[in-house]
C-alpha cells in the first residue's frame, strides 16, 4: 500500500509546519487554509476513514478531541470547528483519517 502524504510528513519526507505533536498525533497547518486558523489533526496510526475506526481506536479518537482543546487554549480561541470528511462521497481526499480544526471566524455585528 502506498504511503499517504500524511505518513510521508510524519516520516519527514515532506516538510510541513507543525503546530503540535505527541506520541499519538501530529498537528500541521493546512497548505490551503479555509479559515484564519486551519490545522489538521492527524493520528499517527494510519486508519483510512472514520468508517474503519475500531473499538480499540476509541482512546485515540478521544485523544484527538483533547488535542483540539489544547490547541484552542494554546491559541487563545473561544471556539472552533472540528470536521472529519469520511469517504470519497463525504469529501475525503487523503485516505488517512484527519480532522480539520478551523477557527478565527469573525463574529457578525
Assess whether pLDDT exceeds 90 at residue 26: yes
Whether residue 109 lies inside any domain: the answer is no
Residues in the chain: 109
Tell me phi and psi for residue 36, to 5 degrees.
-55, -35
Q: Are 29 and 9 in contact (CB under 8 A)?
A: no
| pTM of the entire predicted model | 0.93
Query: Which three three-digit cell numbers place residue 9?
Result: 510528513
What Rg, from alpha-carbon coordinates, does the chain have? 14
Tens-place pLDDT, residues 58-107: 999 999 999 999 999 999 999 999 999 999 999 999 999 999 999 988 76
- Which residue do the cell numbers 515532506 mark? 14
Q: Are 97 and 43 in contact (CB under 8 A)?
A: yes
Assess whether pLDDT exceeds 50 at residue 108: no
Catalytic residues: 98
Tens-place pLDDT, residues 39-61: 999 999 999 999 999 999 999 99
Q: Provide the domain count of the chain.
A: 1
Whether residue 76 lies inside any domain: the answer is yes
Which structural domain range is residue 22 located in?
5-103
Whether residue 108 lies inside any domain: the answer is no
Which domain CATH number covers 82? 3.30.428.10
Amino acid at each position: 500500500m502506498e504511503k499517504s502524504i500524511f505518513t510521508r510528513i510524519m516520516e519527514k519526507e515532506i516538510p510541513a509546519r507543525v503546530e503540535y505533536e505527541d506520541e499519538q498525533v501530529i498537528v500541521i497547518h493546512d497548505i490551503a487554509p479555509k479559515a484564519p486558523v486551519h490545522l489538521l489533526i492527524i493520528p499517527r496510526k494510519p486508519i483510512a476513514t472514520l468508517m474503519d475506526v475500531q473499538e480499540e481506536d476509541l482512546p485515540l479518537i478521544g485523544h484527538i478531541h483533547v488535542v483540539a482543546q489544547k490547541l484552542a487554549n494554546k491559541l487563545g480561541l473561544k471556539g472552533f470547528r472540528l470536521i472529519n470528511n469520511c469517504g470519497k462521497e463525504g469529501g475525503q481526499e487523503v485516505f488517512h483519517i484527519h480532522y480539520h480544526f478551523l477557527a478565527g471566524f469573525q463574529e457578525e455585528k
